[in-house]
Structures are given as C-alpha cells and as structure tokens.
C-alpha cells in the first residue's frame, strides 16, 4: 500500500475543563488509535476543530500527535488558511513538527473571487513551498465553495501535490476526480456513508470521522472491497450508517466526542461557540453503539491492551 492510502481518522482535539487543549488526553487517544489497524491520523481537520484553534495550539497538536504515531503510520496535518502566506507558514511549521503530509482546505471567505485560477495559484504556491506532500481538501458543506475538477486536474500534475480529500457524497464528482488524475494521485473519501462506492470508483482510502470510534470496522470495509467481497462490504457499511450520520452531518464533532466518551476515549466538550450534545442525543449515541456491538467498536477489549507504546 502506497503512502496515504487506507483508512485514516480526522481526530478531535480534546479540551481541558478550562478550555485549553488537553495534551495528555490527546496522547491517550492517539495511543489507543495506534492499537487499531488505522493507516494514519489527520490532526487539525474540520473534526479537529481546526478553525477554533490558534496557531500555537495547532503546532502543539501536531507535535504531540507525532510522538504517538510511529513512522509506519501517516500523520497528516490540516494547514489550510484563508491567505496563501499563512497556509505556507502553517505548512512549514507542521512539517517541522513532523507531519508526513499536509491537508489543505480550500480558502473560501471571498467566495465570488474563488475561481479555478485562484485555487490553482494558491495551491501551486503552497505545494512549491511545502517540505512535505500536499493533499487538497474540498469540503463544500463547511466552506460553501467547490474546488473545480479542472483545477484538481491541473494541480495533480504538480510533483508535490499528492492527492485530494473530497468530503462530499456526490459519487459522480468522486469518479470524476479519480478519472481526471494521473496514476499515483491519491483520492480519499471523506464520508463514511460513501466509502464502499468511493473505493470502487477508484479512491485509495478515506479520512473518516466514523473511524475514530469504529476503526476496525472501517478498515474491514476497505479490506472487503479489496478482496471484492462487495456485498459484505456494503452490508457492513449499512450497519454503520446510523452511527455515521450521528457523528457526521447530524450532530457533528460534538456528537463524535460524545460517542468517544461512551467508548472510553477522551471526548469531552467541543470549544464554543460549538455546544455539547443533549442528554437525549448522548443516549441515542450509546444505543447506536450498542447496536453496532463490541466487536466493531472494540470497546470490549481492555484499553490497556490496545496501547502498544510506552512498553
């Protein structure tokens, strides 16, 4: 498997009671994920509440995660900012802190000006300056803009642009991204409800919030697809669907953090203005996790046994 293929999870950032980043909690989560078959972790993605962190916190998150992620696994850091120069700065700092690649969200504030040409100019400069491979990142639901396929096609020719994460569930668009790119250009799915289809369309893996709580199941979906046990893959994905919705579009990162709490991860509250889920939602998440069962969530296994590092 090439680099950046496989199932990654965009990890949440845990906060201490006073509101600062809880580095110890982050360390514990990372260690536990490293006991799963995940190909790698994405820090500072949307799920990591990256837009709510300051620059120093962002740098620390990369460094702390790096300590827990061995060389064999990918550590990808979100470094997209609105300005090209801030994106380059964040990219260099993330690389210096040990990130294997950066995931660069589209700038989006000045929407009417975000043309294909502007996107190409932005990403080309970032890729020129980045010490590590650059992954494009399109997440229309949050940004309100869409990176055009023609821009991706042009950027895929850049030697330091390694791939793209497409967060939506438009399988026609995903197939277009695969089709437009040269051999070796990585396309990662960002939606767990779309994973099997995206993989069959030629995606090389995924960056899935769902994988933070059911990593083994998400990896199994891809393994089933690789062995072309498509019906089993679809069936497994369908079992995960209600939970995928809950930690995705329905309750967002607050939902994912609550589900992590249920499983013994360090979830906690999101940073304001985001608010925690209600008690009812917490109960719903608990029930959905029980429906899925301990085999898929891995909750039955004693956490200690899942932490290889520090031995």
Nearest to residue 260, comparing CAs of 252, 272, 268? 268
Pick 69 or 260: Cβ nearer a copy of itself: 260
Pick 33 or 119: Cβ nearer a copy of itself: 119
Among all chains, which residue has been given the structure tokens 């329905």? Answer: 250
In the bound complex, what is the minimum distance in angstroms from residue 286's beta carbon to a copy of itself? 21
In the bound complex, what is the minimum distance in angstroms from residue 101's beta carbon to a copy of itself? 21
Pick 73 or 125: Cβ nearer a copy of itself: 125
Peptide bond into 273 cis (omega under 30): yes
In the bound complex, what is the minimum distance in angstroms from residue 300's beta carbon to a copy of itself? 27
Active site residues: 165
Q: List, in sequence order, every residue forming a beta bridge with 134; answer none if it has no partner.
A: 102, 161
Which residues are near a copy of itself by CB under 8 A? Answer: 19, 46, 49, 51-55, 82-86, 107, 109-114, 117-119, 121-122, 125, 141-144, 169-173, 175-176, 179, 191, 193-194, 196-197, 200-202, 228, 230-231, 234, 237-238, 241, 249, 252-254, 271-275
Using the Cα atoms of residue 91, residue 93, residue 96 and residue 98 in order, give the sign of their dihedral.
negative
Q: Which residues contact 79 (CB under 8 A, 6 or more apart)?
A: 44, 87, 90, 91, 93, 94, 99, 102, 103, 104
Q: Which residues contact 155 (CB under 8 A, 6 or more apart)?
A: 119, 120, 123, 124, 127, 136, 161
Pick 3 or 125: Cβ nearer a copy of itself: 125
Q: List, in sequence order, every residue forming a beta bridge with 103; answer none if it has no partner.
A: 78, 135
In the bound complex, what is the minimum distance in angstroms from residue 302's beta carbon to a copy of itself? 34
In the bound complex, what is the minimum distance in angstroms from residue 170's beta carbon to a copy of itself? 5
Q: List, in sequence order, every residue forming a beta bridge with 205; answer none if it has no partner.
A: 6, 188
Pick 36 or 143: Cβ nearer a copy of itself: 143
CB 125 within 8 Å of CB 84: yes
């Amino acid at each position: 498997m090439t680099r950046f293929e496989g199932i990654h999870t965009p990890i949440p950032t845990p906060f201490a009671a006073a509101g600062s980043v809880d580095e110890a909690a982050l360390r514990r989560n990372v260690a536990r994920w490293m006991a799963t078959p995940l190909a790698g972790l994405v820090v500072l993605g949307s799920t990591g509440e990256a837009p709510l962190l300051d620059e120093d916190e962002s740098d620390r998150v990369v460094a702390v995660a790096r300590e827990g992620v061995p060389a064999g696994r990918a550590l990808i850091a979100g470094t997209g900012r609105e300005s090209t120069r801030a994106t380059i700065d964040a990219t260099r700092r993330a690389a210096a802190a040990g990130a294997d690649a950066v995931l660069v969200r589209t700038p989006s504030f000045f929407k009417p000006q975000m043309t294909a040409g502007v996107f190409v100019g932005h990403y080309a400069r970032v890729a020129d300056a980045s010490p590590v491979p650059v992954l494009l990142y399109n997440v229309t639901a949050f940004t309100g803009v869409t990176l055009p396929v023609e821009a991706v096609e042009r950027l895929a020719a850049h030697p330091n642009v390694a791939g793209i994460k497409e967060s939506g569930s438009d399988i026609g668009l995903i197939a277009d991204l695969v089709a437009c790119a040269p051999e070796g250009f990585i396309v990662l799915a960002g939606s767990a409800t779309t994973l099997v289809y995206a993989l069959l369309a030629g995606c090389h893996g995924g960056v899935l919030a769902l994988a933070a709580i059911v990593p083994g199941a998400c990896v199994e979906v891809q393994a089933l697809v690789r062995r072309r046990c498509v019906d089993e893959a679809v069936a497994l994905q369908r079992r995960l669907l209600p939970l995928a919705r809950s930690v995705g579009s329905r309750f967002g990162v607050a939902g994912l953090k609550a589900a992590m709490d249920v499983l013994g991860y360090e979830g906690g509250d999101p940073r304001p203005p985001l608010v925690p889920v209600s008690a009812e939602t917490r109960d719903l998440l608990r029930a959905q996790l029980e429906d899925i069962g301990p085999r898929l969530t891995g909750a039955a296994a004693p956490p200690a046994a899942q932490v290889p590092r520090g031995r």
